[in-house]
């Protein structure tokens, strides 16, 4: 399969689409922002005026959108994909949405002979640009095998974790762990600095031990520099945690740590930091303790 459609050219979607072009796929793109489409056309893609036009031109259709309502609108809304979908196509939603929505879309598309996979990613903008995202996939083994090479153009790893909806569940788990981990890094380093120990020295001392993690490696330097330009925005992480809480309530699962991190993020969003990187959880502790982890130059 060489003809790919891509819908959603935001911070993550644009570099993912560019990597598909670099891999030699014939790409048709759509976004509500015409300038974003034009940018991809300059890079070698074909532009589409509607999602339906993407469906007509593509064997595999990829969406990378903010949340469940946006995916529903692109699939079933006015000028949406659904009327133009045909048997034998693959629908690959790489957005982070509700597992319930992912299952519903998969069931509806199955009626038209379209194999739907939910394939959310982790890694942020940097790894999207490098083509080294981690992808967690829900769908059938047959559909996964069919699109694995397409995923390989955007991700360093792609793992089939279960049936439709399982990829989104896995992403929720990922976001829970990431959010709590970043908060713990900020909280602990704040204590260290308050006690008079240089946080950068603490970072160097603990990074090779059990407390070491990718979150520590990626986010502690941001906290020291005060650079919270978005790799993954706080408001998007909060959206994911809202899906976590919705799912946990449906399943009657207690998630108190996640709920607390969600409240921290709500404070930061209210303070105008919603578009900051989620490493900006350090700013919550700065506000709480009147102490910044940013190092003086």
Q: pLDDT digit string (tens) for 29-86?
A: 999 999 999 999 999 999 999 999 999 999 999 999 999 999 999 999 999 999 999 9
Long-range CB contact pairs, 37-40, < 8 A, 24+: 37/9, 39/9, 39/14, 40/6, 40/9, 40/14
What is the domain partition of the chain in residue ranges? 3-162, 169-289
pLDDT band at 124 (very low <50, low <70, confident <90, very high): confident
The per-residue pLDDT of the chain, averaged, comes to 96
pLDDT band at 297 (very low <50, low <70, confident <90, very high): low
CB 192 within 8 A of CB 289: no
Q: What was the pLDDT predicted at 188?
A: 98
**Residue located via tokens 């529903």:** 72
Q: What was the pLDDT predicted at 296?
A: 76
> Average pLDDT in the 285-291 region?
96
CATH match of 169-289 with 1.10.1040.10: yes
> Average pLDDT in the 130-151 region?
97
Q: What was the pLDDT predicted at 231?
A: 84
pLDDT band at 123 (very low <50, low <70, confident <90, very high): confident
211-247 pLDDT, tens digit each: 999 999 999 999 999 999 988 899 999 999 999 999 9
Task: Report if pTM > 0.85.
Answer: yes
Distance from C-alpha of 9 to C-alpha of 32, rounded to nearest angstrom: 9
Region for residue 43 given its phi and psi (left: phi exceeds 0; alpha: psi -120 to 50; beta: otherwise): alpha
Phi first, then psi: what are they for 19, rounded to 5°? -65, -30
- CATH of 3-162 among 3.40.50.1820, 3.40.50.720, 3.40.50.2000, 3.30.1300.10: 3.40.50.720
CB 100 within 8 A of CB 124: no
User: Which of these is catalytic: 171, 193, 219, 239?
Assistant: 171
Q: What was the pLDDT predicted at 155?
A: 98
Annotation marks residue 171 as catalytic? yes
Residue 1 above 90 pLDDT?
A: no
């Amino acid at each position: 399969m060489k003809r790919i459609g891509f819908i959603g050219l935001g911070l993550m979607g644009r570099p993912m689409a560019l990597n598909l072009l670099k891999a030699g796929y014939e790409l048709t793109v759509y976004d509500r922002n015409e300038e974003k489409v034009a940018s991809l056309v300059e890079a070698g893609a074909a532009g589409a005026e509607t999602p339906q036009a993407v469906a007509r031109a593509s064997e595999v259709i990829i969406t990378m959108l903010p949340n469940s309502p946006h995916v529903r609108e692109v699939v079933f809304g006015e000028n949406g994909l659904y009327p133009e979908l045909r048997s034998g196509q693959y629908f690959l939603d790489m957005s982070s949405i509700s597992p319930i929505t992912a299952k519903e879309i998969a069931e509806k598309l199955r009626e038209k002979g379209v194999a739907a996979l939910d394939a959310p990613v982790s890694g942020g903008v940097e790894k999207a640009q490098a083509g080294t995202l981690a992808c967690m996939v829900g769908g059938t083994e047959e559909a996964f095998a069919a699109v694995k090479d397409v995923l390989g153009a955007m991700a360093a790893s792609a793992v089939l974790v279960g049936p439709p909806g399982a990829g989104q569940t896995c992403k929720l788990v990922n976001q829970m762990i990431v959010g709590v981990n970043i908060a713990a890094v900020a909280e602990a380093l704040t204590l260290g600095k308050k006690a008079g120990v240089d946080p950068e020295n603490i970072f160097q001392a603990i990074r090779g031990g059990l407390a070491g993690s990718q979150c520590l490696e990626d986010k502690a330097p941001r906290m020291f520099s005060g650079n919270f330009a978005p790799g993954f925005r706080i408001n998007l992480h909060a959206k994911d945690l809202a899906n976590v809480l919705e799912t946990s309530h449906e399943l009657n699962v207690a998630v108190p740590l996640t709920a607390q991190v969600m409240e921290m993020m709500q404070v930061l969003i209210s303070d105008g930091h919603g578009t900051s990187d989620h490493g900006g959880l350090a700013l919550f502790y700065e506000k709480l303790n009147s102490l910044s982890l940013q190092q003086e130059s």
